[in-house]
A and B are shown apart, each in its own frame.
Chain A
């Protein structure tokens, strides 16, 4: 899952020259993920994983890193 998220984010939203050096805990918001990026990311996640992410959970904490994103998506896939 993280690979797909990485591909999408680094390809479409935030450019990181060396993705290998960007850890799953590194700060995506600091890397340049902004409100427009978050909107596109959420549309991507909902289509790709068949989940509906509740409006009230769209918070910086849930999109801060790849680990946070994966954790957030899994919670909705299992629920």
Chain B
């Protein structure tokens, strides 16, 4: 598809949809206006550390200047700093310099991190402290503490085309390697603007940020908030293991908006002391990433009678394209909740034969980023095919019915079995393997692996090798050793039989 056709279509889309503010160019323009009109409002709070809007703008623009005064023109910058004020300031600095940010989950194993870095072709990597030993390209490393540049950029944020890339979010790929979803300023602005409007975010809001920055939930936490003058409070790491401490934190910090995954909210409903700790300031809870079991949601709604809940749906490629304001009456039936109505001005289509959902939206990705190049991911008329099966019910709501392919959702993370299989096959002891998702009524899916080993090889070696290659949420929770994988006569893996074998053991 040519760029000009795409722009014409978006312009048409804009007239129908007031949220498509493509005339605002940078994703940071609205933040920049807040810095002028409410400079002393608190932007970021992390433990005892805080930045007002004015301080954050100064810090980010200094870091931008630090990037721009370097020799290489800066187009893509990897952020290798853990979630928090420093990483968020680095993201604003990269965008403010007119470049695109690529957030890393630095807890990922080194081979995966190096793969992503090599695939992204960044000019720089912003980290904290000394360059780590695992990095294959140490010449790109910049210590955030050393980057500070005393001269301020005069024109900050840099002007960019709304089609310029703002972020590349790497997710699990069905070809066995991580896949970079490239998002423009237009796409991220369209989503964050829609969310600010729909959830009426204001300067009085205190938004809890828990999602790591490579996860698309963070687009709301960072940009819907900052464009409205709200405060972002970074949830301390470790609180997810202790739901009652998390509830206490939400209460003490007077959090008003929280966007997270259903598995964590389910844990809070079950053991989060919600009957003894009150959350009078909490008004909006958004969730996405996986199906919220209706019974758990009903319980949570019962414990938080004054909170508005919203089910948000959409793959990283479209960000949110459907949303459903939770109707408490409807939970009584125990039926699965719908994904609801089109969001962000999206146009939705359901394939007659496969029931696959296709999405046309100003929030759609620009393409997949692969080896330093943008690869088209949309049909000629601008639709993204999600691979999700959906239907439209009598009330005009869209309902989700699972995947057309093998993709899994584990704690909200997208996991492609092919990526796990590819990592397992790299272990010399493994002759063959197959990965499927084991479904758990309480908490979604978890990967499980069947492996065929060389004579005398030990499963232990395979498990250890997987731990060095895959992030924690991709580790199989179960392994079985088979003489051979079950196949159909046409040579395709018989996943149904495999499932029986994995569930039997």
**Contact present for A17 and B463 (CB under 8 Å):** yes
Q: Which A residues lie within 8 Å of B240 (CB)?
A: 35
**Contact present for B270 and A43 (CB under 8 Å):** yes
Output the nearest chain B residue to A35 by Cβ-Cβ distance.
Answer: B240
Contact with A along B452-493 (1 / 0, CB 8 A): 000000111011100000001101111100000000000000
Q: How far is the CA of A38 from the CA of B479 in the complex (A)?
A: 20
Q: Which A residues lie within 8 Å of B443 (CB)?
A: 36, 39-40
Output the nearest chain B residue to A21 by Cβ-Cβ distance.
Answer: B460
Residues of chain A touching chain B, judged by Cβ–Cβ distance below 8 Å, are 11-18, 29, 32, 34-36, 38-40, 42-43, 53, 55-56, 58-60, 63
**Contact present for B472 and A34 (CB under 8 Å):** yes
Q: Which B residues lie within 8 Å of A43 (CB)?
A: 270, 442
Residues of chain B touching chain A, judged by Cβ–Cβ distance below 8 Å, are 238, 240-245, 263-264, 266-267, 270-273, 276, 411, 440, 442-444, 458-460, 462-464, 472-473, 475-479
Q: How far is the CA of A12 from the CA of B238 in the complex (A)?
A: 22
**A/B interface sample: 30 pairs, CB < 8 A:** A12-B478, A15-B463, A15-B475, A15-B478, A16-B463, A17-B462, A17-B463, A29-B241, A32-B472, A34-B473, A35-B263, A35-B264, A36-B263, A36-B443, A39-B263, A39-B266, A39-B267, A39-B442, A40-B440, A42-B270, A43-B270, A55-B244, A55-B273, A56-B244, A58-B242, A58-B243, A58-B244, A60-B238, A60-B241, A63-B241
Q: How far is the CA of A71 from the CA of B243 in the complex (A)?
A: 21
Q: How far is the CA of A58 from the CA of B271 in the complex (A)?
A: 8
Minimal beta-carbon separation of A49 from chain B (angstroms): 16
Q: Which B residues lie within 8 Å of A34 (CB)?
A: 241, 411, 472-473
**Are A12 and B460 CB-contacts (below 8 A) given A36-B267, A43-B270, A55-B244?**
no
Per CB-CB distance, the 10 closest pairs between chain A and chain B, nearest first, are A17-B460, A55-B244, A55-B273, A17-B463, A35-B240, A36-B443, A17-B459, A39-B267, A55-B271, A56-B244
Q: How far is the CA of A53 from the CA of B242 in the complex (A)?
A: 13
Q: Which A residues lie within 8 Å of B460 (CB)?
A: 17-18
Minimal beta-carbon separation of A5 from chain B (angstroms): 16
Q: Which B residues lie within 8 Å of A59 (CB)?
A: 241-242, 245
Minimal beta-carbon separation of A21 from chain B (angstroms): 8
Give the total number of A-B pairs whose CB atoms are below 8 A apart: 77
Which of B242, B244, B473 has the most A CB atoms < 10 Å from its CB?
Answer: B242
Minimal beta-carbon separation of B504 from chain A (angstroms): 12
Q: Which B residues lie within 8 Å of A39 (CB)?
A: 263, 266-267, 270-271, 442-443
Output the nearest chain A residue to B412 by Cβ-Cβ distance.
Answer: A36
Q: Which A residues lie within 8 Å of B476 (CB)?
A: 15
**Contact present for B442 and A40 (CB under 8 Å):** yes
Minimal beta-carbon separation of B39 from chain A (angstroms): 38
In the complex, besides A12-B478, A39-B266, 11 extra interface pairs with C-beta distance below 8 angstroms are A11-B478, A15-B478, A17-B460, A32-B477, A34-B411, A35-B241, A35-B267, A36-B444, A39-B270, A40-B442, A59-B242
Q: How far is the CA of A34 from the CA of B107 in the complex (A)?
A: 14
**Contact present for B272 and A55 (CB under 8 Å):** yes
Give the residue of A29, A32, A60, A63 whose beta carbon is less than 8 angstroms from that of B475.
A32
Minimal beta-carbon separation of B146 from chain A (angstroms): 32
Output the nearest chain B residue to A53 by Cβ-Cβ distance.
Answer: B271
**Contact present for A13 and B264 (CB under 8 Å):** no
Q: Which A residues lie within 8 Å of B411 (CB)?
A: 34-36
**Contact present for A13 and B241 (CB under 8 Å):** no
**Contact present for B477 and A14 (CB under 8 Å):** yes
Q: Which A residues lie within 8 Å of B243 (CB)?
A: 35, 55, 58
Q: Which A residues lie within 8 Å of B264 (CB)?
A: 35
Minimal beta-carbon separation of A20 from chain B (angstroms): 11
